């Protein structure tokens, strides 16, 4: 009797393993939705002349526009300084403020668009991230 149960248990375990592997392969094949980060302008505002970087996130999916984090980083000879993290509105617009003067003496500016997971069409999809450098 024991010898008859072992093949059946092995068969069930093998089927479950194959099903899990097939599910993982189909979810791994889904490509992330492309998203890009752009800078529109860099300006001095207010009585203290605070430097503000204005930009927009673009994507083929509107769900990938709102609530995105854009990290602004000043690249300096002494090391990178993250000075603000902007969050996008419903249309993808964002701003990052340099209230500490991190951009003064900086060689360039780096922006990092953080990845985001959203629900679309009943499925969970990933909105891609991006890193860009500006001189």
Does 24 score more than 90 pLDDT? no
Residue 14 tokens read as: 């093998």
Q: pLDDT-derived band of residue 126, with 50, 70 and 90 as boundaries?
A: very high
Range of the domain at 126: 35-134
Residue 128 located in a structural domain: yes
For residue 18, the SS3 value is: helix
Q: What is the pLDDT of residue 129?
A: 94
Number of H helices, E strands in the chain: 1, 9
Residue pLDDT, tens place only, 45-101: 988 889 999 999 999 999 999 999 999 999 999 999 999 999 999 999 999 999 999
Q: How many CB atoms lie under 10 A from the CB of residue 11?
A: 10
How many domains are contained in the chain?
1
Q: Is 13 contained in some domain? A: no
Residue 9 sits at φ, ψ, to 5 deg, of -65, -40
- The CA-atom distances, in angstroms, between 57 and each of 1, 11, 112 are 65, 50, 11
CATH number, position 110:
2.60.40
Residue 10 is assigned to a structural domain of this protein: no
Reply yes or no on whether the pLDDT at 5 is more than 50: no
């Amino acid at each position: 009797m024991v010898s008859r149960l072992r093949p059946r248990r092995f068969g069930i375990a093998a089927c479950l393993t194959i099903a899990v592997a097939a599910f993982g392969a189909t979810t791994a094949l889904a490509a992330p939705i492309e998203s890009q980060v752009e800078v529109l302008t860099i300006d001095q505002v207010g009585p203290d002349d605070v430097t503000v970087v204005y930009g927009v996130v673009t994507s083929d999916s509107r769900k990938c526009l709102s609530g995105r984090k854009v990290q602004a980083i000043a690249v300096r000879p002494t090391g990178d300084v993250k000075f603000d993290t902007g969050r996008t509105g419903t249309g993808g617009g964002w701003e990052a403020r340099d209230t500490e003067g991190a951009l003064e003496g900086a060689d360039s500016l780096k922006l990092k668009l953080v990845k985001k997971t959203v629900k679309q069409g009943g499925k969970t999809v990933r909105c891609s991230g991006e890193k860009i450098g500006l001189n």
